[in-house]
Structure 1
Amino acid sequence: MRAQATEFLRALRLYRAPAATGADEAPQDPADAPLALRRAARRISGTLHTYLPVLDADWSEEMRPELAWLSGTLALEHAHAARLDRLLRALHRLSGTPAEVPEPAHPAARRPAAAPAGPATATLPAPPGRGLTVGAAKAAALLDRRLTLARTRAHSTALQALGSSRFHAVADKVALLASEVPLRPGAATADLRPLAGAAADRLADAVAALPPFTGGHPYHAEALAHGLSPDPVPHPQDAPWHQVRLLLRLRRYAHEVVAGHGTPGDGGRAASEALDRHRDAAEAAAEAAQAARTPRIAPATAYALGVLHADQRHEVEAARYAFRHDWRQHPGVPR
């Protein structure tokens, strides 16, 4: 936690004074600061969650909601930018037109590199005909307007948050954490392995509770049909998978504490990457469905958005297949 608090303060220094880098430090882009702040806040929060029994109760209860607020606020702009990139590239792929994805308006929203395709990644074939090509262009314009507006609002919200008294209070607490972790009496000599083991058990239980999987290949038609529900709320099948993704991350953080900061797990990160793709595809599908409900859009636009929604739900099923495949190979391995 002290190491992550130091990373938090380093990112905060970069954000406030981007030119103040030491002679022995490589120049850094100030646009990276919000993402670095979010990453450090998330790791502190995750470690706090697992090792709560050995930490000061009052301090922990104050920090947990504040770290969650900060991490969530700083994540929105990047998420909107990545979602727009994913949807536009999928539209171009489905319609067979060259990809012309606009750059984000704000440097902090730069897109991450595309995730490597897993062994089970598959997509729906592009339906032929000029209808999808025409509709795809209009659908792309609609998605660009919607998500660019959302990204701009998220950027403004993040700037307001970073200038607020609430954020300064969080930063002050993290600064104290960098020098001393507030432990309960006697916690300095406590064995942390049982707490890390409990995190692993919670993950294993959540994986075991996932809906039964009957598909023998990435394209699981029955599950895909259920995933095409017209209900505008997030699909109920997705929630337990998102929970597994969270618990997998908490398990990795817990392992780092007992094995040494930065110590990798015994296996690869394929399961974690599959769940990241699952989250991205599920949220992209929901965005396509919401855009299709825009009043008075052309039928060709609605059709293209429907095809896009089905394509992303197919990606959801492919990611689930990839996760289960890796989990069978490396069950419970910290990643």
Structure 2
Amino acid sequence: MAQQHLDPTDPMAGAVTGEALAGYLRAQAMEFLRALRQHRETGGGAHTGGTEESVDAARALRRSARRISGSLHTFRPLLDPDWSEGMRPELAWLSGTLALEHAYASRLTRLLNALHRLSGSVPVPSQPHPVAAGAGDPAGGGAGGSSRTPALAAGGRATAGSAGTPGAPPREPGRARTRPAGAEAPGTAPVSPAPADRGNLTVGAAKSGALLDRQLTLARTRAHSTALQALGSSRFHAVADKVAVLASEVPLTPTAVTTDLHPLAGAAQERLTDAVAALPLRTAGHPYNAEALVHGLSPDPSPHPQDAPWHQVRLLLRLHRYALEVLCDPADTPVDVRLLDAGQALDRHRDASEAAAAAAQAARTPRIAPATAYALGVLHADQRHEVEAARFAFQQTWQKETVVTP
């Protein structure tokens, strides 16, 4: 299907010169300074377990730093080269440092939720309770008794000893006759409320969850300490001083005020289009990408070799969106739903890829139990399936026509 894009090289689109770039950079610099002031007023960087305002301030700091850095990259011919080349790496360092803590926290949440889902501890609305469905019944006990995962089957065996076989006489009839009123009828499995946290997981899933919790919480704590040190360092103060100067004075080249920005924004869009064209979208269209398993058992702990081009497309898509923000005021421009959905699909791809890598790294921990290693392997495979699903969603979104909402 034909793709429709906003063509930045269209002369009918109207000339947008370096003055618009200067105004955009000044606005983002003001956002940066405003977020920095809010961050200091709400705890000075203690956004681990801090207030919601401090978390929002840290997010706003990252957002404005990314936009300034991306604009410096796309429109660098219109800016002082020494200043822009020295500014971009510092903004990228700051944004990456502040993002680590949030990344580790969301990764842990994602993996623990996946463990509960794979273990059957999250009830499915259309299925009966896992215990009442026939725990210990080899036949599966109907729709809810099928052991879709080994963890769920193990959970069924764990409860079979106390519940008994559904439909069979109670093990101790005498005790059944003395049950108080309101108790379960003889031969039915008692339904107890689901324990909190990892109490209703199988042994392997619970231990793998505890291992991931220890590793990712430790990484998050270290990332928090690194962020606090960064925000108090002379390096950060130098960046903040440059951003403060940028809020009032943008170092444009002498010819920037008469140079149209559309060709540079068009170059950013072409880089994105070329990178998407190099992706194996046909492979992503299949329900399962068998080529993704080629290096599945590689001892190399580096990220999956297939993920790097997709991560690059995600970065190029972000640069394209920032270039469009420079050309058009986002408040007066309709939202491109296609670009929004594509970006969300690539964000899910990144999150699932990093979660799979975290599960694989935890499985390399020495002297872990076989059940723990097996649960981590199932978790890794589940997140790689999530990667494939995100690629398929991106393929479906990218091949649609552009849809904008007012």
What is the deviation of 1:30?
Answer: 2.3
What is the deviation of 1:265?
Answer: 4.2
1:92 aligns with 2:161: no
Q: Structure 1, unaligned stretches of length 5 or more?
A: 20-26, 100-124
Would you say the 8 A contact 1:63–1:170 is kept in 2? yes
User: What is the identity, as a one-letter code, of the residue corresponding to 1:209?
Assistant: A
What is the deviation of 1:224?
Answer: 4.2
Higher alpha-carbon deviation: 34-43 or 157-166? 34-43
CA distance in 1, matches of 2:297, 2:260: 48
Check 1:94–1:61 CA distance in 2 against 1; reply closer, same or farther (3 A cut): same
Equivalent residue in structure 1 for 2:337, among 267, 270, 290: 267
Would you say the 8 A contact 1:97–1:133 is kept in 2? no
SS state at 1:213 partner: helix
Alignment correspondent of 2:321: 252
Alignment correspondent of 1:62: 86
Would you say the 8 A contact 2:352–2:384 is kept in 1? yes
CA distance in 2, matches of 1:33, 1:212: 37
SS state at 1:97 partner: coil
What is the deviation of 1:264?
Answer: 4.4
Alignment correspondent of 2:54: 30
CA distance in 1, matches of 2:350, 2:369: 29
What is the deviation of 1:216?
Answer: 4.3
CA distance in 1, matches of 2:284, 2:226: 43
1:281 aligns with 2:361: no
Would you say the 8 A contact 1:245–1:275 is kept in 2? yes
What is the deviation of 1:259?
Answer: 1.5
Would you say the 8 A contact 1:278–1:315 is kept in 2? yes
Check 1:229–1:255 CA distance in 2 against 1; reply closer, same or farther (3 A cut): farther
Q: Structure 2, unaligned stretches of length 5 or more?
A: 1-24, 44-50, 124-147, 156-200
User: What is the identity, as a one-letter code, of the residue corresponding to 1:314?
Assistant: H
1:52 aligns with 2:76: yes
Would you say the 8 A contact 2:337–2:402 is kept in 1? no
Q: TM-score, normalised by structure 1?
A: 0.84
1:192 aligns with 2:261: yes
User: What is the identity, as a one-letter code, of the residue corresponding to 2:336?
Assistant: D
CA distance in 1, matches of 2:283, 2:240: 48
* CA-to-aligned-CA distance 1:165-191 (integer Å, 9 cap, x gap): 110110011011111211001201210
* CA-to-aligned-CA distance 1:218-265 (integer Å, 9 cap, x gap): x31413433634332111100000000000000000011112244344
Larger radius of gyration: 2
Would you say the 8 A contact 2:355–2:383 is kept in 1? yes
Check 1:56–1:318 CA distance in 2 against 1; reply closer, same or farther (3 A cut): same
User: What is the identity, as a one-letter code, of the residue corresponding to 2:296?
Assistant: L
Alignment correspondent of 1:299: 370
What is the deviation of 1:62?
Answer: 1.1
Higher alpha-carbon deviation: 128-137 or 204-213? 128-137
Would you say the 8 A contact 2:36–2:57 is kept in 1? yes
Would you say the 8 A contact 1:204–1:332 is kept in 2? no
Higher alpha-carbon deviation: 264-273 or 144-153? 264-273
CA distance in 2, matches of 1:326, 1:227: 28
What is the deviation of 1:332?
Answer: 11
Would you say the 8 A contact 1:228–1:313 is kept in 2? no
Q: How large is the Cα RMSD of the aligned pairs?
A: 2.1
Equivalent residue in structure 1 for 2:96, among 54, 72, 80: 72
Alignment correspondent of 1:313: 384
Equivalent residue in structure 2 for 1:167, among 236, 243, 261: 236
| Paired residues for 1:151-166 under 5 Å | 151-166=220-235
User: What is the identity, as a one-letter code, of the residue corresponding to 1:180?
Assistant: E
CA distance in 2, matches of 1:66, 1:34: 16
SS state at 1:29 partner: helix
Check 1:227–1:285 CA distance in 2 against 1; reply closer, same or farther (3 A cut): farther
CA distance in 2, matches of 1:60, 1:314: 40
User: Which of the two has greater helix per residue?
Assistant: 1
Higher alpha-carbon deviation: 152-161 or 174-183? 174-183
Q: Following TM superposition, where does structure 1 have runs of at least 4 consecutive aligned residues deviating by more than 6 angstroms?
A: none
